[in-house]
């Protein structure tokens, strides 16, 4: 996997980016540098940071911090107490309290990338390759706060040859709650075109597009899964109090099946609705109520994107819909 970084007119800035790209951090390094269990990135499961309900967490954190200082203090990245220097602190800022997190959703291994976005900045985590070893990351801060060109910087980290996405014939969006969870996804994954088209007709969504999706999904060798976690509005200026927006208080997330050849994304989504507690997102995985809460927040979203821009296609999670698709 290769990465392209655009050279700034300021060669010093480029040198800093080059040096930073060769700094590899483990998940426990990130845990310490991001401030421990308060870091919002810990809520995004694909990165596999340490569990926050470990009774021995503080003792372990002290051990991890000691190892971090021993390794990184001689290089000038942290001081003797483990506080990062300005360059590293700036690169970590978006990871500490992101509004949006986009990551590859792997089945058995760590994701190839994690992108954290705030209202003014973004940083990517790229999985280490080769001899550096599994479980380590390099930092790729977006070199500009101009959001109009973030899609290009996203592609520096999520290269088209590994994660392609082509323009759809037209843009389309639909979101709905299934009365039989997983029904359409089952048809899509098994290539059951007729059943998928019947489902679409019953649901009032585009049967032609859904039929193409089912026909190509099983055979599409380029398809991949992405996780998207939304904690608040990307445009913080759009709310009178960005710290207490409904989206901030009630996070949403989705696991997206991306079909590159169709420019399509089928997402298994979860979002707050009046039938669940306000803190539903933070219910522990081992809590008996977790499964029930997930079912009560679940819905599907289906989108096609004429732009062909993957960052645009993944930079949101729909709100909970009001329509329920009957059998």
Q: Average of pLDDT values for 321-327?
A: 67
Q: What is the model's pTM?
A: 0.83
Q: Is 186 a residue whose pLDDT tops 50?
A: yes
Residue 243, pLDDT score: 39
For residues 77 and 85, is the Cβ–Cβ distance under 8 A? yes
Q: For the residues 217-236, what does the mean pLDDT come to? A: 73
On the 0-12 / 13-18 / 19+ scale of CB atoms within 10 A, 302 is buried
CA-angle at 94, arms to 173 and 132, nearest 5°: 100
Whole-number pLDDT of residue 220: 66
Quick one: tokens of 106?
């792997």
Phi and psi at 302, nearest 5°, equal -130, 125
pLDDT digits (tens, 9 = 90+) for 24-80: 998 889 989 988 776 667 556 556 666 555 667 778 888 999 999 999 999 999 999
Q: Could you tell me which residues come within 8 angstroms of residue 194 by beta carbon, excluding any fewer than 6 positions away? A: none
For residue 242, pLDDT beyond 50: no
Q: Which helix (H) or strand (E) holds 253?
A: strand 252-259
Q: Quote the distance between the C-alpha of residue 45 and its chain's center.
A: 10
- pLDDT value, residue 246: 34
pLDDT of residue 308: 95
Number of residues assigned to the chain: 327
Find out whether 137 and 125 touch, Cβ atoms under 8 Å. yes
Percent of the chain exceeding pLDDT 90 equals 37
Measured CA to CA in angstroms, residue 139 lies from 117, 124, 223, 303 at distances of 13, 6, 26, 30
Q: What is the mean pLDDT of residues 92-113?
A: 84
What's the confidence (pLDDT) of residue 77? 97
How many of the other CB atoms lie within 10 Å of CB of 100? 22
d(CA 126, CA 130): 13
Angle subtended at Cα 121 by Cα 115 and Cα 67, rounded to the nearest 5 degrees = 60
- For the record, the structure tokens of 137 come out as 């990351």
**Half-sphere exposure (Cβ direction) of 164: Cα atoms closer than 13 Å:** 12
CA–CA gap between residue 27 and residue 229 (Å, rounded): 19
Domain boundaries, the chain: 11-157, 172-325
Those residues whose C-beta lies under 8 Å from the C-beta of residue 43, and which sit 6 or more positions away, are 229, 231, 251, 281, 282
């Amino acid at each position: 996997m290769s990465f392209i970084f655009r050279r700034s007119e300021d060669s010093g800035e480029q040198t800093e980016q080059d040096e930073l790209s060769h700094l590899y951090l483990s998940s426990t390094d990130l845990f310490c540098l991001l401030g421990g269990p308060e870091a919002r990135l810990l809520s995004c499961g694909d990165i596999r940071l340490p569990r926050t309900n470990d009774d021995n967490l503080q003792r372990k954190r002290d051990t991890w911090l000691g190892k971090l200082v021993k390794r990184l203090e001689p290089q000038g990245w942290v001081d003797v107490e483990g506080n990062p220097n300005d360059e590293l602190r700036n690169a970590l800022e978006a990871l500490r309290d992101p509004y949006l997190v986009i990551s590859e959703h792997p089945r058995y291994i760590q994701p190839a990338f994690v992108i954290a976005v705030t209202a003014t900045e973004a940083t990517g985590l790229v999985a280490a390759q080769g001899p550096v070893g599994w479980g380590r990351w390099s930092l790729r801060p977006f070199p500009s706060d101009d959001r109009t060109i973030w899609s290009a910087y996203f592609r520096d980290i999520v290269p088209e040859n590994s994660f392609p996405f082509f323009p759809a014939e037209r843009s389309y969006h639909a979101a709905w709650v299934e009365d039989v969870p997983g029904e359409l996804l089952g048809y899509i994954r098994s290539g059951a075109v007729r059943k998928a088209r019947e489902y679409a007709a019953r649901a009032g969504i585009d049967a032609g597009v859904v039929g193409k999706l089912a026909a190509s999904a099983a055979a599409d060798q380029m398809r991949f899964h992405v996780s998207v976690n939304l904690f608040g509005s990307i445009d913080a200026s759009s709310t009178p109090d960005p710290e207490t927006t409904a989206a901030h208080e009630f996070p949403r997330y989705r696991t997206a099946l991306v079909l590159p050849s169709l420019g399509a994304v089928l997402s298994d989504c979860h979002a707050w609705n009046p039938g669940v507690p306000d803190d539903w997102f933070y219910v522990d995985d081992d809590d008996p109520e977790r499964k029930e809460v997930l079912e009560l927040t679940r819905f599907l979203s289906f989108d096609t994107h004429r732009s062909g821009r993957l960052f645009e296609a993944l930079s949101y999670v729909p709100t909970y819909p009001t329509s329920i698709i009957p059998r």
